[in-house]
Amino acid sequence: MEPRRSRLRRAGRTAPALPAAALVVLLGGCSGAGAAVAVPSGAVQPTPPPVVVPGAPGEPARVMPGEEAAALLPDAAPTEADIRFLQRMIPHHQQALDMAALAPGRVADPAVAAIADRIRAAQGPEIAVMQSLLAEHGHAGHSGHGGHDHADMPGMATEAQLAELAAASGPAFDRLFLTLMIAHHEGALTMVEELLTGGRDIRVGELAQGIAVTQATEIERMRALLPE
């Protein structure tokens, strides 16, 4: 079976929504005027025009009936999996920010400090995007900080582990920070994989794939820094 990180990296490079987006463009482009045309009440609705669908590499294109192409367009409404992902990933990211904020004054290795800086730079803005998406879908009152305990989110550090990290310094801090953050990032990859099986919102999917690619790369960097 292909390793999970490999599948997630491949998912990050391949946008599954592109075929549907291409159909949208083709449907609009084949309609001539492009804009919606008002149809008198009781009039027969026009048949969607045929759509040219590009073939796979080395294969010819084919013409698909307009009705068939229209049926392939996805429902843009988010699923429960999309909303659940956002609501859980916000506190998951927030804990990573809390852990990264402990690095100044405690970290010994500049490379570990750089990892913490990158986490703060990436995950803070991602939280803002996820909160915006929740509000857009009518979940403004659900920032993601409530309703989910740590056991519901893979990779989360316990309160005892966070206290131990806050009390550590020097190489001991570096080692514990890397250990906890690797597990934390791996939990995020699990959450992304769960979304890919049930989500359909294009923007949530693109955000999740970006998170997966970034955190998979950081896992490799942290493993290289972690002492044997």
pLDDT tens string 40-58 = 445 455 666 776 766 666 6
Domain boundaries, the chain: 19-28+46-73, 80-225
Q: Domain 80-225's class?
A: mainly alpha
Identity (one letter) of the amino acid at 159? E
Tell me the C-alpha distance between 83 and 81, whole Å.
6
Per the model's pLDDT, the better-predicted residue between 75 and 156 turns out to be 156
How many CA within 13 A on the CB side of residue 124? Answer: 11
Average pLDDT over residues 83-94: 96
User: pLDDT by residue (tens digit) across 26-42?
Assistant: 334 444 433 343 444 45
- pLDDT greater than 60 at residue 175: yes
pLDDT, position 188: 97
pLDDT, position 61: 74
Tell me the C-alpha distance between 192 and 175, whole Å.
26
CB atoms within 10 A of CB 86: 28
pLDDT, position 59: 74
Tell me the C-alpha distance between 11 and 6, whole Å.
8
User: pLDDT by residue (tens digit) across 148-170?
Assistant: 456 679 999 999 999 999 999 99
Prediction pTM value: 0.67
Helix axes 110-136, 171-198, angle to 10 degrees: 30
